[in-house]
Chain A
Amino acid sequence: MTWTYAPAPESAALANLQPAYRPFIDGEFVDGNGSMKTVNPATEEVLAEVGTASADDVDRAVAAARRAYETTWGPMPGAERAKYLFRIARIVAERARELAVLETLDNGKPIRESRDVDVPTAAAHLFHHAGWADKLEYAGLGPSPKPLGVVGAVIPWNFPLLMAAWKVAPALATGNTIVLKPAETTPLTALVLAEIAAEAGLPAGVLNVLPGAGDIGAAVVAHPGVAKVAFTGSTDVGKQIQRTLAGTGKRLTLELGGKAANIVYDDAALDQAVEGVVEGIFFNQGHVCCAGSRLLVQESIADELMELLRSRITTLRVGDPLDKNTDVGAINSRAQLDKIVDLAAAGDAEGARRWTSPCPLPERGLFFPPTVFSEVEQTMRVAREEIFGPVLSVLTFRTPAEAVAKANNTPYGLSAGVWTDKGAKAMWTGRQLRAGVVWTNTFNRFDPTSPFGGMGESGFGREGGRAGLAAYLDG
């Protein structure tokens, strides 16, 4: 019997969307030097006008952050800093619905994910680090670890609030102050986070948020008053930043691109492996640096796995991100959609076999259907380049050694997945994989206690856990 789920949209009004947003500098929202429009990718309609920062604003923000570091935040005992962070975490949790809807409007991700992953994980990160603020002497980083000063943080558009929390929480917990540049296409939740910080009474200058384009990010990174740079984004920009910082003595952590292998052995729990493959690549429309974008499946089960996978992908509901039943939302920007279309065309041209989910797509907005390329070979662009979209490349292997060789045949090294019912095989494979994060029998799970970060062209430094604190402290 056909049973069609009626639309179940979350109310857009919950986002408390304002017509205009402004940069947050030295404890106040100030007029920007210019302005940009942020767009809802599901409709391509303008959501709000956002004031952008100028180079002068970067100077003012860094100076304010420096002053706060020297006069209020830096000298403050950890137990006192913790109170502010707990307060911010609690307000984020209290305003979770508002933040989730706003994130979905600005980013295009399904409300199910912003509600169940982005916002709760952001709050968890803040709570976790609040707990560290008065215990840094016991983090194993030396008897009296010291903060670095002003942190310049530049974050991407795929998890706007979560990435802001990943930078702000450890920076502030360790006694640093921060100048945060949110992504050009998704500035809104970071600015609401600033509002929350103000509501929590955070001293002026401790957190500054500067919306703008890449030039503002570059100015933040290059600013001589910045002691540490934390960047999450593309490998190309990461390399530019590393060049800029060479010889300056600034500390740097980079969390960049990925082309993660998801290895499915023939003794895996097949149905759950299918779930993990789907979660690995279609979570957040595949706009995930650690996405499991290369499926490596053992030849002996390849046909069966592909059949199950296609039928599972067919059940994914693509559409209105605000609909609570949507599994795959909108592509964040026209530029990103063009890139996905272009790389998928390269897959066709190089002889990979394209399969597209027969799901209906909305008539307007930026959407790309879940897509699987099979018969992919190691040398093809769809096996080597990060697509950052809902496109899975499938390769096969015969032995564990071949699986590992193929998995490691990439300049990236952010994450990987291993699917097997055999513990020893999972452990062996994990040890061979050149990746910062290896998930076994699961994928795309994040926890503030677990360090996250890459190897090779996926960057260096860790976020989360004890290792994450080290990036913000001098031992």
Chain B
Amino acid sequence: MTTTVPAPLADAVRDESALRRFLFGLPGVDQVGLERRSAVLATRSIKKDAKLQAIDMAVSMIDLTTLEGSDTPGKVRALCVQAMRPDPDQPDVPPVAAICIYPDLVEAAVERLRGSGVKVAAVATAFPSGRASLPVKLADVAVAVDAGADEIDMVIDRGAFLSGRYGQVYEEIVAVKEACGRAHLKVILETGELAGYDDVRRASWLALLAGADVIKTSTGKISPAATLPVVQVMLLAVRDWHRATGEYRGVKPAGGIRTAKDAIRHLVAVNEVAGPEWLTPDLFRFGASSLLTDLLRQRRTQTEGHYSSTRYIGSA
């Protein structure tokens, strides 16, 4: 098998059976305890300065997303403008981390975002189902990378994963990683289609071993998408990866996070489960479309002392 894995874990990917043994040697996840920890963390009360800081952090971590069949270059350009300057009335609001779009629209986005620092992320590998042959998936990636995408959000082959063909999933991620070149790779596990928290842990490690820069929960096309317990398992995986290798890898919940309150609950989990080192757009992202509007609304509430109607907030 291809090996790009740091020495302490190199043995895990020596061959398919070693990989399987490694994944099944990971400690189990107890559903009751996991969900309880998430529930307790969700009771954290984030107020005043801490809330304002959280809102700005969350804005700076958003992958502002549109993944519709009806997307057009015009729609993407509108999104880019909002990404760079989310709330023109409040110029101190930071730009978002990236916009997340289909590969054929990357060119329009790259042009509009040039020099802004906002990254262009493209979903690829036959998103969202992942049902295509490897050459097709790699061609999909190449289109996005050639057009100037900074980040690639790939989907794993859930069919292969669920039928236990871990080597195939691994090799596919490795191949995509190679096709990414300098682009960062986010690997979507589509946790809503996996068989529980143990599977989420195994899929997380599989993706990390194969070179994922970021592990991502969902496509947003399947429910349930990002939940706090699933994100907790993935945060534990990157924390353990760092303990084992010294490397920092990221996590991206996507789908279903629509309110500032939800986003802050995720940030609390990042802070307390993985650690404050992960509170940066390099290591934590939100895949979201409507979240930004609520964050801006809550931010205005903090600074102006009253709620604003969403009509006062520009929305792409």
Contact = CB atoms under 8 A, between A and B. Distances in A.
Given A3-B271, A8-B45, A442-B32, 9 more contacts: A1-B279, A1-B280, A3-B279, A4-B50, A5-B45, A6-B51, A267-B28, A271-B27, A271-B33
7 cross-chain pairs, A with B, having the tightest CB-CB distances, nearest first: A272-B33, A8-B45, A269-B30, A272-B30, A324-B45, A1-B279, A270-B27
Given A3-B54, A269-B30, A272-B29, A315 B272 contact: yes
Interface string A274-317: 01100000000000000000000000000000010000000100
Interface in B1-55: 27-30, 32-34, 36-37, 40, 43-51, 53-54
Given A3-B267, A3-B279, A272-B37, A8 B29 contact: no
Contact of A271 (B29, B43, B267, B271): B29
A41 B243 CA distance: 39
18 contacts: A1-B57, A1-B276, A3-B279, A4-B50, A5-B44, A8-B45, A8-B46, A112-B40, A112-B43, A270-B27, A271-B29, A271-B33, A271-B34, A272-B29, A272-B33, A273-B33, A275-B33, A324-B43
Contact of A269 (B28, B44, B47, B243): B28
A441 interface: yes
Contacts of A315: 272
A64 B150 CA distance: 81
Interface residues of A, number: 26
B279 A441 contact: no
Nearest to B46: A5
A269 B26 CA distance: 9
A5 B276 CA distance: 12
Given A3-B271, A3-B279, A315-B272, A272 B48 contact: no
Contact of B32 (A1, A270, A324, A441): A441
A80 interface: no
Nearest to B35: A272
A276 B63 CA distance: 35
B27 A5 contact: no
A281 to B, nearest CB: 15
B97 to A, nearest CB: 14
A114 interface: no
A429 interface: no
Nearest to A276: B33
Interface size class of B (residues with CB under 8 A): 20 to 34
A6 B30 contact: no
Per DSSP, chain A at the interface is: loop
Nearest to B283: A1
A116 B50 CA distance: 23
Contacts of A271: 27, 29, 33-34, 236
Nearest to B268: A5
A2 interface: yes
A158 interface: no
A195 interface: no
B30 A441 contact: yes
B41 to A, nearest CB: 10
Contact of A441 (B33, B243, B271): B33
A298 B28 CA distance: 16
Most chain A CB within a 10 A radius of its CB, from B27, B48, B51, B236: B27
B34 to A, nearest CB: 6
A443 to B, nearest CB: 10
B33 A269 contact: yes
Contacts of B29: 269, 271-272
B27 A116 contact: no
Contacts of B279: 1, 3
B64 to A, nearest CB: 21
Contacts of A185: none
Contacts of B243: 307
Contacts of B51: 6
B44 A325 contact: yes
A3 B276 contact: yes
Contacts of A324: 43-45
B28 A421 contact: yes
B39 to A, nearest CB: 9
A251 to B, nearest CB: 37
B276 A8 contact: no
A3 B33 contact: no
A341 interface: no
Most chain A CB within a 10 A radius of its CB, from B30, B36, B48: B30
Contacts of B37: 272, 275
Nearest to B52: A6
B302 to A, nearest CB: 11
B197 to A, nearest CB: 9
B249 to A, nearest CB: 17
A457 to B, nearest CB: 30
A275 B36 contact: yes
A145 B222 CA distance: 57
A15 interface: no
Contacts of A273: 30, 33
A190 to B, nearest CB: 27
Nearest to B277: A1
A324 B40 CA distance: 11
Given A325-B44, A325-B45, A3 B32 contact: no
Given A269-B29, A272-B29, A441-B32, A3 B53 contact: yes
A276 B33 CA distance: 8
A337 interface: no
